[in-house]
Amino acid sequence: MENLAKFDRYIEYLCAALEHKDRNAGLQDYCRGLMLPIHRKSVEPLAAHTDPLHVSAKHQSLHHFVAKAGWSDSAVMTRIRDWVVPHLGLDSGCYWIVDDTGVPKKGTHSVGVARQYRGQLGKQDNCQVAVSLSLASVPVGYQLYLPKDWATDPVRRKNAGVPDGVTFATKPEIALAQMHEALASGMPMGVVLADAGYGDETAFRSGITELGLLYAVGIRPATTVWAPGTAPLPPKPWSGRGIRPTKLRREPGHEPMSVKALAMELPQEAYSTLTWREGTNTDLSSCFAAVRVRSAHRDYLGTEMRPEEWLLIEWPEGEAEPVKYFLSTAPSDATLEQLVFVTKMRWRIEQDYQELKQEFGLAHYEGRGWRGFHHHATLCIAAYAFLVTERLSQDAAKKNRARPEASSLPENYIPRGSPASPATRA
């Protein structure tokens, strides 16, 4: 009962962001439903399990709250962050994890749905994709990626309720905007972690540095760098006529190389076997090497050399070539062990998304609109964030006691859409 009382205090704390008291019951019931151990967590099952004797009325009120009511996702996410941060123990630093997740969808009418890459499958799929920024294990930013076909289609935008201010933006651009907002709201500074879908974008890495943050991000094998001891040539000497040359140069025989080519040229003794954490069945370890390089992407258009940073290479034993590459702006005196440990912290986001989808219904929303998509995600994150804080404050044997039990449904309850009969309600 103590945990449920704390949950009620938590919900009351979040309700301060809703602006209207008549919305408080919607947030409380929706989040309480998301905490229940039920299989499906779309609006109707939540209504059925939170108020079994008045399912129709509860369904209407919850649907209005999540799909129509004009409360601010950003304001609620700020309250979530402020509740969670004191429990995370961030005195020694933290991680800002950038990632995206796909939600499978049929048809073409749900907002942002398109055939696009879905990371969990590793291939194209008909889905919605959302970009998130997480502080440690809790998302503090979550926005739907709107493909160009959607962003430039006024009819579909209007039907889905896409706000006028939302224009096409790439996933790295969305992530940078989330980081700007996080800093403006006072979120503790951290090291940005992201996979190659983000880290391979030079503008993304530069944007992180401009914000005053460090990063450790994945890059693709073809990314070009200047190898240790090399750099672009200075501008051509000025002849005294015309415009003074200011651009950096390359020449045949003096060019950058791909990180894969650099990795293949390193001597065997440059690689060391390191263990970064305990896995389910065994310790997780691999072979790594780290060298100081300069990013080379289109630097011939610039006037100043980019600063040195770390290139981290992972080449597992038995593989014919390296499998992963990372760039990091960690201090120049960072050890290989430190680089590996920080870079590998990104694995946490995969577990977070798995639990958000399987246990908290992140992928269960059945509406088609922009507002409902984001409201549902915000409420799923709110419920998940409470459980995270409880786990941090309790031992493993008690970590799930904060979750209430599901109410029994009436015997004559028939889910909506059932072929047996119309969806009658008690």
Q: For residue range 179-206, what is the model confidence (pLDDT) as tens digits?
A: 999 999 888 899 999 999 999 999 999 9
pLDDT of residue 201: 96
Q: Nearest to residue 80, comparing CAs of 159, 167, 16, 171? A: 16
Report pLDDT for 412: 55
Per-residue pLDDT of 363-422, as tens digits, reads 999 999 999 999 999 999 999 999 999 988 875 444 444 555 554 555 555 555 444 434
Does the pTM exceed 0.85? yes
Domain boundaries, the chain: 1-71+394-426, 221-344
- What does the mean pLDDT of the chain come to? 89
- Provide the pLDDT for residue 425: 35
